[in-house]
Amino acid sequence: MFRFEHIEYLWFLWTLPIFIGLYLVFWQWRKSQLSQLGKKELLQRLIPGWADKRNHYRFILLLFALLFLIIAYSNPQWGNKKEKVKAKSSDVFIALDISQSMMAEDISPSRLERAKRLMQNVTRALKGNRIGLIFFAGNAYLQMPLSSDYSAAQLFIASANTNQASTQGTAISEAIDLALRAYEPEKNNQRGLIIITDGESHDDDAISKAKEAREKGLNIFTIGVGTSEGAFVPYLNQGRQQYKRDEDGNPVKSSLNTELVNDLANAGGGKSYLIGEGNSIITDLKAKIDLLQKEEVETRAFTDYASYFQYFLIIGLLFLLIEFFIAEQKKMAQS
C-alpha cells in the first residue's frame, strides 16, 4: 500500500502554478522593457550570454527541482509488511437522500452538496469503525457495504447525485430496512444508522420501521437538511435550469420536515440534528457512536512502511545542480 507520511506538505504543490504565473508576468514585463532598448539581435551583441531559451530552461529546471523536493519532504512510503490486526469497532451505515428535492437551494450551494460535505466529514471522524453507504430516493440502494475503505467511501460520496435514483420519492423505510438486512445477523454489537435527509417524505412506514430497527439493536441518528422556509426545486432540462411544477403548472416548493426528522431519531433511539449546527454535529455524533457496544474485528493492515524520500531528494538536487551549471556558463560567457 502506497502512502505519503506527511501528505499535508503536498499542499505546497499549489505554489508551482503560482510561480509559473509570476514568471510569465515578469517575462512579459522584461520583454517590454528590453524592446525599448533595441532589437533582439542588437541586445545579444550588447549583452554577451543573454538568451531567452537559457532563462526558460533554468526556470523549468527550478520548477522540477521544487516539485521533487516537495514530494521528498512529504516522504512517499510503501507498505511492505502486512499483519492481522484486532480492533474494536462499531458498524455504521450512512444513508443519503438523493431525491430531487435535495437540489433545493435554500442552503448554499444546495441541500445535496451541503449534505455531501457533512457526510465526508462524518466519515473522516468515524475512522476506526466500519462504514457502509446507502443512497435513497424512491428506492434505497446499497452503494457500499460495510468496509474500512474510507478512501472509497469518500469517492462514492463525492459522486452522489440525483441522477443515480431511478425513481423519485423519499423511501426512508426502505433505507432502514436495507441497513437491517445488510448487517451480519450473527453479530452482537450495537449498530448505527445516520440518515441525512430533508424529510420530505410520504413514507408512512418510516416511524414504525425505525422502532423495529431499535428493537434489533440499530440506533438511528438523523440530520435534517434545508430550512422551514424552503425553496423551489430546480432541475436541468436540455442544459437549461427549470423548476419542478405540480399538475396545475405551479412551481413546487420544498421545505425541511423537522417533525419527521425528530420523530425518526426518537423512534430509533438516537438523536436528531440540523445541518446548520455545523461541526458540533460531527463532535456529538462521534461521541454517541463511541458509546455503542463495540465488537472485536480482525483486519489485515500494513504495520511497516519503507520510505523512498531519498530518491526524490536526489533527483531534486540533481535538477538544482544542472541549473547551477547553466547559470555558471552564462556568467562565463558574459565575462
pLDDT digits (tens, 9 = 90+) for 33-81: 766 665 666 655 555 555 567 778 888 999 999 999 999 999 888 766 6
Cβ pair 156, 144 in contact under 8 A: yes
Residues of the chain with CATH 3.40.50.410: 91-293
Q: Which three cell numbers stand for residue 62?
A: 527550478
pLDDT digits (tens, 9 = 90+) for 116-143: 999 999 999 998 888 999 999 989 999 9
Bridge partners of 83, per DSSP, are 301
Q: Return the pLDDT at 231.
A: 93
pLDDT of 83 higher than 90:
no
* Gap between the Cα atoms of 179 and 177, Å rounded: 5
With b for 16 or more beta-carbon neighbours within 10 A and e for fewer, the 172-196 pattern comes to: bbbbbbbbbeebeeeeebbbbbbbb
More confident residue, 1 or 49: 1
Q: Return the pLDDT at 37.
A: 61
Asked whether the CA dihedral 94, 266, 178, 167 is positive or negative, the reply is negative
- Whether pTM exceeds 0.85: no
Instruction: Judge residue 277's burial from the number of C-beta atoms within 10 Å of its C-beta, 0-12 exposed, 13-18 middle, 19 or more buried.
Output: middle
Hey, what amino acid is at 259?
Answer: E
Can you tell me whether residue 26 is helix, strand or coil? helix
Judging by DSSP bridges, how do beta strands 231-232 and 253-254 pair with one another? antiparallel
Judging by DSSP bridges, how do beta strands 272-274 and 218-224 pair with one another? parallel
Cβ pair 137, 170 in contact under 8 A: yes
pLDDT digits (tens, 9 = 90+) for 137-193: 989 999 999 988 888 899 999 999 998 887 877 789 999 999 999 886 666 567 899
pLDDT digits (tens, 9 = 90+) for 267-325: 999 999 999 998 999 999 999 998 887 765 555 555 567 788 899 999 999 999 988 87
* Superfamily of domain 91-293, CATH level 4: von Willebrand factor, type A domain (3.40.50.410)
